[in-house]
Structure formats: structure tokens, C-alpha cells
A and B are shown apart, each in its own frame.
Chain A
Amino acid sequence: MTPRIIAANLTVRLKTFCREKSAMFFTVAFPVILVLVFGAIFTKPEHLNFDLPVQDRDQSATSAQILKRLAADGVFNPVALPADADAGQYAKHNKLNLVLVIPHGFGDVLTHRLAHRDDKDSAVLMYIYDPSSTSVTTKLQYLNSMVAAANQQMSGTPPFITTTQQSILNKKYRFIEFFVPGIIAMAVMTSSLSGALNMNAELRQKGILRKLATTPITRTDWLLSNILYQLVLAVISTVAILLVSYAVFGVRLQITGWLPLYIVLEVFVFVGIGMMLTPIAKEAESAAAAANAFLFPMMFLSGTFFPVEMMPGFLQKFARVLPLYYVNEGLRAAMIFVDNLAALRCAAITAAVAAAVFAAGALVTRWDREV
């Protein structure tokens, strides 16, 4: 190992990086944009608001009352439908996934029921809906819970069962806080894997590896300077992601020694995988394709964008063989849940993978002979 040679290589890489605008974009801007976009989409689910087409065939004081309460709740924004239209046809024609119909006589039945306490009669509200729509279930749940609350209130007795809530976390965490560690892991993975793969393929294609083979640089020097360079990139993108997350979304995350440890381990894992793929990808173009074939499944199946628990069982099992899964889990354990034991367990698994993959990658990197 020659520090002078490693420093010279690192300088070349960093100069190239600073002069290559697309490299800057993918390292800094791309993950930051992801944080901004996903953060904006998911930050405030409490402000859920739907337009709700309502056909009031009753036109009574009671139906007016109902519309008023719907509007007051804030979730729905009632939009009146012509009273004489066929609601089903109208919904189909106008591609409405849910229409609430207040039938004629609704007010009379309800008044009768309230006045006489006659259990046989109940007033009926009708939902006309499109079962293929994804958002309709959520809307129906909201409507049902509002109806249930109204029923309970009109019964005149206090509820029999109430609920209280207790979080297993010290404090409530928001989706963006779940999301940020995933984006950090993804950004580090992408730059390490495609960085190692593309650079080696490109340098070989241009014959630079052949030239380097006629200089005193050794394989150890070469591998170490690659790793150091990828570490610098990983730190740059992590800092960028964290700065934006704190500044724009005011996230609260635990920044401890786990974060740098995970970054180091992850760089070793994915630079190692990149080196293993290099002999397969003979040219720079096929290198990019090979990198993507590896990156995308990893990204979507390892719980980067959503919890692994949301996936079907067999995919959850599959996720457990992906190295990125343990980085995601470990980073979240450390940064959100402050669960040192889980962080340690995931770090140990990641370290074992890193050691194996990097050793294998170093073994197949034969740039110094018969290139």
C-alpha cells in the first residue's frame, strides 16, 4: 500500500467528479429531489380532502343538516348533483367513483324513528360506487365512521366501548422520517455500485487500465482508492439529503455513530458487488444495464420507499436475502426507533456480507494482468 499513489488516484477522481456535471447531479441533486418529491406527497396526510358528489332527493331540513355536517368535518367537500338525474348513470358517465344518495323520505323516516323510538324503521343512505377505484375504500371508511358516530349520538346514551392509544415509540414519527434513511441507503448503493462498475468498464474500454498496468500501482492501491472515493461521494450525498430533510421538512432523526458505520459498510458491500459484475459487463454501455438490473429490484424490494410489511409474504422472505434490506432496517432502527440491538444485529449481517462480497470482488478484479 502506497499512500502517495492512493492520494494521487483520489485527487484524479475528485477532480473528474467536480468537472463532470452529470456525476454531480446523480450524487447530490437526484436523492435531494427524491426527498423533496416524496416528502411533499406524503408529509401531511391529515389534510386529506375529497370532493363528494351528493344527490339530495329528500330536500328536507334533515338532509340539509346532513350535508352541513359532511362539509363541517373537513374530509369531504359535498358537491350537489341534480335531484332528478339517475345517479348510477350519472356516476358512470362522469367517471365518479362514489356518489352519496339521500333518498326521498329520508328525513321523514328519521324524524319518525327519533320521535317514536321505533326500532323497526331506519333511514337509509345509499352509496353508488365503483369498486375498481383504489381511493373509494378510504372514502367509504370515512363515511361509515361518520354514520356510526351519528348513530351513536342519536341513541342518546354514552358509548359502551371507547379506545385509548399508546405508541410503542417515544414519539410519533412521520412518513418522511421513515423515508429519509431509505433514501440515504439508496443513494449510497446507487453511487457505489454504478460508480465502481462504470468506472472500471470505462477505464478498461479506453485502455487506461492497460496503461496503469505499466506503472508501479498495485491492486491494493487501486481498490483502496476506489473505496475512499466512493466513501467521499457517499458522505456528500448523505449530508445533502440530511440538510434538505432538516431544512424543508424539519425531520427529527437520531444522528449517531451508527450512520457513518452503516455508510462505510454499505460502500464496501456495493463497491464489492460492482467489482464482481465488472468482468461480466465488458463495455461501458452494458455496465450501465447490468447496474440497473441489479439496482431496481434492490431498491423496490428492500423497503426503501415503503415498509417491507406491505409486500406479499414471499416477497418479504425474498427481501431478507437482499443486503440493502439490512441497511434500511438497521438505519431505521438507529435513526428512528433508537433500537441499538436491532441496529447492531443488522450491522453485523451487513458487515459479514461486505467482507464476503468485497473479498470476492477484489479476487475477480484482474486489471493488472492480461487486461
Chain B
Amino acid sequence: MSNSAVYTIVVEALSKRYGDLLAVNDVSFHVNKGEMFAFLGPNGAGKTTTVEIIETLRTPTSGSVSVFGMDVAKHKRDIIPRIGVLPQGFNSFDRLTVSESIQYYAKLFGNKTTDVDGLMNLTDLKDKRNVQFKKLSGGLKQRLGIAIALVNDPEVLFLDEPTTGLDPHARRAVWDVLLGLKRKGKVVFLTTHYMEEAELLADTVAIISKGKLVAIGSPGELIERHADYMCLRLKSVDAHAVDIINKMGFQPVLDSRNNIKVQVKHTEDVQQILDAIKVAGLPLPGLDVRKPNLEEVFLSLTGEALHAGAPMEGDAR
């Protein structure tokens, strides 16, 4: 494959069908060397199916996938030793301790040089080295899963929903580990349904919805391309302001806390709205203006929310 000199992973026209369900529908993309790549989409979008095909666990219905220039359907044995995988909902053997789990997987790969202490340092698990898996919290389990995915010093690391189900603190601890890997220049293929995770970590984000790839690019590019506006929020404003802004040709939305949200294109629009409110003599206790995030990109591309009602905690930056 000619692209393999540049790209670590090449996916071309990939489809996977389960009976009547087309789980992955004609998906094509590639992952560059040294890149952190995020697959962003809601649950059931086809992320895990795609990533498991790349990991050689499943076979494509049609299309082709190559890793390191080798076809995944034919070169499982050559690809497996060079990749590391954190599967979705990772579990290890209940009764094994942290260090025993790492050693076990290191032995499976036959890596005599695996630096177990180094991996525990990297994932901040050194204090837990003698704790059995069943006694670890969710965040520690995920960090152990990442340490285990690294036992063979893989060229590509696959992380399937690494922070799903974790509390914000544990999630941040996992992100710290991943940022450390990014600094080391590992190729990381991440699937997530947390937009701030993709935005914080990824060089390239591919948005997938209902089995189809709907957009791909850097977070900045995606926002630029698909959410080319600013979000103005006016705090605790009199409801009359909604009418005023409406008449100016914008589409204000009043939320339950009496905040008004308006999407605007230009800085001058903000100025105009503020002037109009001042002229009307309405009080304005506070406001903020921010750039849209991937959540809004996703919404505008697919018409559906990434999270069904799950509140997002703050902006990642």
C-alpha cells in the first residue's frame, strides 16, 4: 500500500454488517505517524466496531484496513505484537495484584525488558502495586489497563473509551497519563464520547454518527468549519431582552436560569446587542462570550446530542 510510508493506519471504504444492522458504513480515514487520533461519537455509533477491526479482532464485511502497511485480515500475528489495546470496560483477573497483572501481560508478549516499575510510575500506580484488581477503583483500573496496554512498548496504542464511567477527578488523572504519552510521541487511537476529551488530547478528531464518518480534522478546523460563530450569554436578563434581540434578527434562547444564549457571527454583533439592551434601560448583571466547542460541532453536523442528558462539567481548557 503506497500510503503506508506516511500513515500508520489506513482505513478505506470500511463497512461492517451484523445481520440487518450496518454498524460501520463506508468509512475511510488515515492516521499519521506520531498522531493522537480521536474517534468521537455517541454510544452505538460504530466506534468500537471500527477500532476492533483495526485491532484485528473482527473482520470487515467490505473495504480494507491496513496497519503498518499490512492488511489486518491477513497479518494478525505480525500486527498484534506491535500494538497495545485498552478494551472498552477493561478488566483484569480479580485476584491478581497491580504488579502481577502487568507482569502477566508482559510474559504473554515475551518482553523480558518490560519495565514494570516504569509503567507503574507512568500511570501513577506505584502505591497500589500490591493491591488486588477487584479492590481498585474505576480510575485505577483504567490506569492499570493503560499500563498493561504499554507492556510491549507498542507503536500504536488503542484506547477504547478510557474515561467512561469515571468521576471528573479520576478522568483528569487518566488524561494526565495520556498527555504524558502524547509528549513521548506515541501514536494513540482514542475512541470517546466526551468532547472535551477529544478536544484536549487529539491532534485529529473524526466524528462518527450512525456508522458514518461525518467530519474529520483538528478540533480547531472542525470548529472553524462547522461552528463558525460565537456564543454570547447574557446572565439573569429581563425577559424583554429576548424580544429586543429577536427583532434584531438573531435567535436568542432563554434557559431555565434566566440566561439568554445567542449565536453571533461577528464581534460587532455583540456590540449591537449590548447597545440595544442599554438603550432599552434593562439591567445587565453579567455576560460572557466563548467559542463553540465540539459538542456544538457535533450537534450542528448530526442534529443529535453527544450525551443524552448527561451534564458536561466545565470547559476542558
* Binary flags per residue of B153-176, CB closer than 8 Å to A gives 1, else 0: 000000000000000000000000
In the complex, A8 has a CB within 8 A of chain B:
yes
Distance from A9 Cβ to chain B, minimum over Cβ atoms (Å) = 8
**How far apart are the CA atoms of A208 and B145 in the complex, in Å?**
11
Query: Complex: how many Å from CA A88 to CA B82?
Result: 89
Size bin of chain A's contact surface: 20 to 34
Residues in chain A near residue B56, CB distance under 8 A = 214
For residue A211, which residues in chain B have a CB less than 8 angstroms away from its CB?
Answer: 85, 87, 90-92, 148
Q: Which of B41-97 contact A (CB under 8 A)?
A: 55-59, 77, 80-81, 83, 85, 87-96
Docked-complex contact A16 and B108, CB < 8 angstroms: no
Q: Which chain B residue lies CB-closest to A13? A: B93
Binds A, one of B2-10, B99-107, B215-223, B263-271: B99-107
B57–A369 CB distance below 8 A: yes
Closest B residue by C-beta to A210:
B87
Tell yes or no: A215 within 8 A of B by CB. yes
Q: A15-B100, A208-B93, A369-B57 are in contact. Are A8 and B87 (CB under 8 A)?
A: no
Chain B residues contacting A369 (CB-CB under 8 Å) are: 57-59
Residue contact B87 to A214, C-beta cutoff 8 Å: yes
Would you call A370 and B85 a contact (CB within 8 A)?
no
* Shortest Cβ gap from A371 to chain B (Å): 7
How distant is the Cα of A212 from the Cα of B90 in the complex, in angstroms? 11
B95 touches A4 (CB 8 A): no
Indicate if the CB atoms of B90 and A12 lie closer than 8 Å: no
A12 and B108 form a contact (CB under 8 A):
no
**A207, B48: Cα distance in complex, Å:** 13
- CB pair B104–A12 under 8 Å, yes or no, is yes
List which A1-42 residues lie within 8 A (CB) of chain B: 2, 4-5, 7-8, 11-12, 15-16, 19-20
Bound CA span A57–B32, Å: 109
With A16-B95, A207-B91, A208-B91 known as contacts, the answer to whether A8 contacts B107 (CB < 8 A) is: yes
Residue B109, interface by CB 8 Å: yes
Which A residues are in CB contact (< 8 Å) with B100?
A: 12, 15
Once the chains bind, are A371 and B88 in contact (CB under 8 Å)?
Answer: no
* Most chain A Cβ neighbours within 10 Å, of B83, B88, B109: B109
A217 at the interface (CB under 8 A from B): yes
Contact with A along B15-32 (1 / 0, CB 8 A): 000000000000000000
Q: Are B93 and A12 in contact (CB under 8 A)?
A: yes
- Say yes or no: is A75 at the interface (Cβ < 8 Å to chain B): no
* Cα separation A371 to B52 with both chains bound (whole Å): 10
CB-CB under 8 A from B58, the residues of chain A are: 369-370
* Chain A: minimal CB distance from B49 (Å): 11
* CB-CB under 8 A for A214 and B83, given A15-B100, A371-B57: yes
Per-residue contact bits, chain B 279-290, to A (CB 8 Å; 1 contact, 0 not)? 000000000000
For the complex formed, measure the closest distance between the CB of B141 and the CB atoms of chain A, giving whole angstroms: 11
Give the nearest-CB partner of A5 in chain B.
B108
CB distance from B262 to the nearest CB of A (A): 45
Instruction: Let me know if B95 and A215 touch, CB within 8 A.
Output: no
Shortest CB-to-CB span from B187 to chain A, Å, is 16
Does A312 belong to the interface (CB within 8 Å)? no
Q: Which among B55, B80, B95 has the highest number of chain A CB atoms within 10 Å? A: B95
B132 contacts chain A at the CB level, 8 A cutoff: yes
**Interface positions of A from 192 to 237, Cβ below 8 Å from B:** 206-208, 210-217
A8: which of B77, B89, B108, B132 is its contact (CB, 8 Å)?
B108
In the complex, which of the residues B104, B107, B132 has the most CB atoms of chain A within 10 Å of its own CB atom? B107
A214 to B150, CA, bound (A): 12
Q: Which residue of B lies closest to A2 (CB)?
A: B110
B80 contacts A214, C-beta separation under 8 Å? yes
Contacts of B148 in A (CB 8 A): 211
Q: How far is B108's CA from A217's CA once the two chains are assembled, in angstroms? A: 6
- In the assembly, what is the distance between CA of A206 and CA of B133, in Å? 13
Residue from B57, B83, B88 having most chain A Cβ neighbours under 10 A: B57
Q: Is B81 within 8 A of A216, CB to CB?
A: yes
CB distance from A368 to the nearest CB of B (A): 8
User: Which of these, A19, A208, A214, contacts B57 with CB under 8 Å?
Assistant: A214
Whole-angstrom CA separation of A210 from B83 in the bound complex: 14
Across the two chains, which residue of chain A brings its CB closest to B77?
A: A216
Interface residue from A20, A216, A370, A371 paired with B108 (Cβ < 8 Å): A216
Give a binary string over B190-220; 1 marks a CB under 8 Å from any A CB, 0 the rest: 0000000000000000000000000000000
> 5 other contacts beyond A208-B92, A211-B91, with CB at 8 A cut-off?
A5-B107, A5-B110, A8-B108, A214-B80, A217-B108
Binding site for A on B (CB under 8 A): 55-59, 77, 80-81, 83, 85, 87-96, 100, 104-105, 107-110, 132, 148
A-B contact pairs, 19 of them (CB 8 A): A5-B108, A7-B107, A8-B107, A16-B94, A16-B96, A19-B95, A19-B132, A206-B91, A207-B91, A210-B57, A211-B87, A213-B57, A214-B55, A214-B57, A214-B85, A215-B108, A216-B77, A216-B109, A370-B57
